[in-house]
Amino acid sequence: MYSHIHRIFILGVAVIGMVGFLAGSPGLSAQDQEAQTKEQKKIQQKTKPPVITEEILVVSEVPKERPVSTVTVLDETFVERLKPLDLSEAIRYAPGVSVSFGDKSTYTLKLRGVDDKRIAMLVDGIPSYEPYYGSFDLKTFSTDGIDSLQITKGPSSVLYGANTLGGIVNIITQRPTYKPRLTFKGSYGELNTRSLGLNTGYQANRLGFSGGLLYQDSDGYNYPDQASGDRTQRSNTDYQRFNFNGKLYVNPTNQSEILFNVGAYLSEYGMPPALEGGKARYWRFKDWDRYTLNAGGYSVVGDRSMARFRAYYTRYNNTLAMYQDAELEEIRFESSHNNAVHGIFGLADLFLNPANQLKVSFDYKGDDVRTQDDVGDPWQAYDQLTVSLGVEDHASFLDVWQVVGGLSLDHLDKFEGESTTKLNPLLGLKFTPYPWLDVHASFSIKSRFPSMRSLYSSGSGNPDLLCEAGTIWELSLTYNREFYFTGSAFLQYFKDLIDSIRLPEYDFQRRYFNIGEARIHGFELQAQKSVRWGAATVNYTFLDPWNVSDDRPLPAISKHNLNFEGRVYPLPSLRLSLYGLLASRSYWLTSDDELVEIPSYFNLDAVVAYSLRQFEIFARLTNIFDSPIYTELGFPWQGRYFELGFQADVF
């Protein structure tokens, strides 16, 4: 595995580096790019195609054109300042977002308290989730080469298809630029944590390309051991990962685009055992690989319509080994998953008149799963099909009001059991009296189909499960004049939530049932202010998470969450940044069905960066106070960590 990844990485660096070098000419430095004014960025946008193939619903900076849900956009300059190793370290600084670390070394995303199994994760508009579990792990997504990170919460558009109950995240990777781009990045941190990558791109007339390579590995991390008072290396936390993404663009006309995309994520990593709250398990992913292939584009049809389309195939090859001992010498079993997701997506925009736009979407998605419990055991195979039709109308009147109405028809064709069809409506009202003020109120009913594991697994599956359902209300205000401020209040009601429980009629073996009813109410606030010598962003989220069925708090959700970014420029080429996370206490539900308190925590990171023309060096220090941080029982976060790195913009 190690030598295989090294060979792929070296070959990829040589190929992409040569292509970028041959296309090259001097370009803007990283500091110059960050210093660009908003007006300059608007001018740049005018030189790009008016529609981005990678977006399903284009998120505009113009208030009147923004959706009736709350959308937070983290752009590439934010990611470049933060210097994250993966998506888990970047997305947690958005309002309404929390990230937990726990079992199987998984970094779990929550949007307004709703976890990743109920969130749609997209990469350039393509669904990216493990089809058997119906979930995703934030650490398997690279932040290298990101153009923007779009986080949608609340009553989202019906055009995204099924299973958007908790929200939507769309990672938009970099597109070609009219000025050639070739950037090298690298870093080295404690316990031999290394990262090396490159990104390149160029648009020449009607042909363009963009791509990147990233290699990372580590011997693991240290954590503050509260029992001994020492910094201790966490066992079985080493990893190695390689990421490649390449995109080729063809523009047959000035009003059309065709995109071809290929990507690969190859990894191997250990999973540390729980320090408390359960029996220690010694597991390791020998392989956790994802391969993607997709094509699509857009075309303007006539004067009043436009069509977008995508076809995709994503494959997952995973091998999980469970060992008898902490030294990982004797294998107990070795399970394998060879799973795939394939589908097609189409979207039509019909401009009926200057004040009315009709959008129609079609989404076809197939999930294929092959699992083997141990080497030599028979393979089990499942497949299912999801089809969605969406219609959404945007009508404006009196120049300051907009009404948005939508309806989606979502159908699940099960491998076993009765198929399911759901209707999900959306209604929203927007009021934009000034270019700097926007108010919207919205309502939606959302559903989430059961995962293939909960439906078909041999030990606990239940093919008669119903889909989960949610009713979501939101009221939001955005002000952007002397400073930027946005706030949203929301009500979220959920029913038929799926969980595994033990019942005597099933010999007290765990089995999935629709048993849960819950509510998560709250509000989130964001404030931003920039001055000549610095800038600051503060986000606060209040959540009231309650398990209505059992009359107790929902687990692993803090009521109060605050995060911030503050940066100053003591010198034109020197940047000092601080990033903070503060969360109140939460609760964890043990295997004995008891609630255990998880303490509140505060985490502070710092980044110092110095730029010299087209070269930047940086130092990053995370968890400065070496605080013991837990978001799930028995799984501490990384303690204090230090690394040095660089970025060189060749073009």
DSSP code per residue over 295-343: EEEEEEETTTEEEEEEEEEEEEEEEEEEESSTT--SEEEEEEEEEEEEE
pLDDT digits (tens, 9 = 90+) for 326-369: 899 899 999 999 999 999 999 999 999 989 999 999 999 999 99
Counted domains in the chain = 1
pLDDT at 64: 59
Q: What region does 505 belong to: left with phi over 0, alpha with psi -120 to 50, or beta?
A: alpha
Q: pTM for the whole thing?
A: 0.91
Please tell me the distance from the alpha carbon of residue 111 to that of residue 165, in angstroms, as a whole number. Answer: 10
pLDDT at 30: 33
Please tell me the distance from the alpha carbon of residue 85 to that of residue 91, in angstroms, as a whole number. Answer: 12
Is 422 a residue whose pLDDT tops 70?
A: yes
Nearest to 125 by CA among 360, 294, 246: 294
Burial group, residue 242, by CB count within 10 angstroms (0-12, 13-18, 19+)? buried
Q: Which two tokens stand for residue 603?
A: 């985490």
**pLDDT level of residue 651 (50, 70, 90 thresholds):** confident
pLDDT digits (tens, 9 = 90+) for 233-264: 999 999 999 999 999 999 999 899 999 999 99
At 411, the amino acid letter reads H
Radius of gyration of the chain (CA): 24
Q: Which two tokens stand for residue 138?
A: 């934030």
Q: What angle do CA 390, 55, 76 make, to 5 degrees?
A: 150
Which helix (H) or strand (E) element contains residue 370? strand 356-372
pLDDT digits (tens, 9 = 90+) for 88-135: 999 999 999 999 999 889 999 999 999 999 999 999 999 999 999 999
| Of the listed ranges 42-46, 380-384, 463-467, 536-540, the one predicted with least confidence | 42-46
pLDDT at 47: 41
3-state secondary structure of 418: coil
Q: What angle do CA 496, 70, 479 make, to 5 degrees?
A: 150
User: Structural domain of residue 313, as residue ranges?
Assistant: 2-649
pLDDT at 4: 45
With contact defined as beta carbons under 8 Å apart, do 599 and 584 qualify? no
| CATH code for the domain of 413 | 2.40.170.20
**Which residues on neighbouring strands pair with residue 504, listed in sequence order?**
none
**pLDDT level of residue 59 (50, 70, 90 thresholds):** low
On the CB side of 513, CA atoms within 13 Å amount to 10
**pLDDT level of residue 506 (50, 70, 90 thresholds):** low
Please tell me the distance from the alpha carbon of residue 622 to that of residue 603, in angstroms, as a whole number. Answer: 8
pLDDT at 152: 95
With contact defined as beta carbons under 8 Å apart, do 271 and 226 qualify? no
List, in sequence order, every beta strand (DSSP E) within 164-281: 167-173, 181-189, 193-204, 207-218, 222-224, 231-233, 239-250, 256-271
With contact defined as beta carbons under 8 Å apart, do 29 and 611 qualify? yes
Backbone angles phi, psi at 548, to 5 degrees: -65, -35
Q: Which residue has the higher pLDDT, 276 or 212?
A: 212
**Which residues on neighbouring strands pair with residue 403, listed in sequence order?**
395, 429
